[in-house]
Amino acid sequence: MPSALQIDFAGAPRGGSQGGAILLVAGLAVAAGILGSYLHLRQETDAVQARIEALSRSMRANGAETLERDPRKLRVLRARIEASNRILSALDQPWIRLFDELESATVDGVTLLAMEPDGSKALVRLVGEARDRDTLSRYLERLGRLASLREVRLNQHELRDAQGGSSLRFVVSARWVRPA
């Protein structure tokens, strides 16, 4: 006698993908690093600002002779302030939106290993592994459709033999378009 037919229209709840989890962890690690750098830089900027205030008071007290007698100190101070401003500008980018969009482009069979954004040049470099060329091709198509990326290019790919088969290691670069 045949067994009763069981139909489950709802299906089992679907969990997140491993690639998405890895990308989330990588994004959180990068965000934590950026936050740490920002806080350190903010502290250094505050120290430089305090030093500027102290020098200003000293200049007023000494008739503005201090920095005029030592232009090297003035150049060093200006260079540090300019470097601090460049770093603050790089940290003031909408990284979270970029992370979210990259996570939305995940494809089964693709693992993103590294993401290297360069805010000053508006470039993003991605390093990852794909199961095969078709999977990599689908991933590149999805990256090309993201609103925040333009000129998505496959810079390098290499077929690697692994324990369970082979994988395709790749490097992709893209121009990052910041939101208006």
Q: What beta strand segments (E) does the chain contain?
A: 110-118, 123-130, 149-162, 165-176
d(CA 40, CA 28): 18
pLDDT, position 67: 54
The upper half-sphere exposure of residue 24, i.e. CA atoms within 13 Å in the direction of its Cβ, equals 7
Q: What CATH class has 95-176?
A: alpha beta
With 0-12 CB in 10 A as exposed, 13-18 as middle and 19+ as buried, what is 8?
exposed
d(CA 121, CA 42): 22
- pLDDT (tens place) for every residue of the chain, 180 residues total: 677 777 777 666 666 678 777 888 888 888 888 888 888 888 988 888 888 888 888 777 765 555 566 788 888 888 888 888 777 766 666 677 777 888 888 888 888 888 888 777 878 898 988 888 998 999 989 888 888 888 889 888 888 876 777 888 999 989 888 765
Span(s) in the chain for CATH 3.30.1360.100: 95-176
Please name the amino acid found at residue 106: T
d(CA 119, CA 38): 14
d(CA 136, CA 100): 20
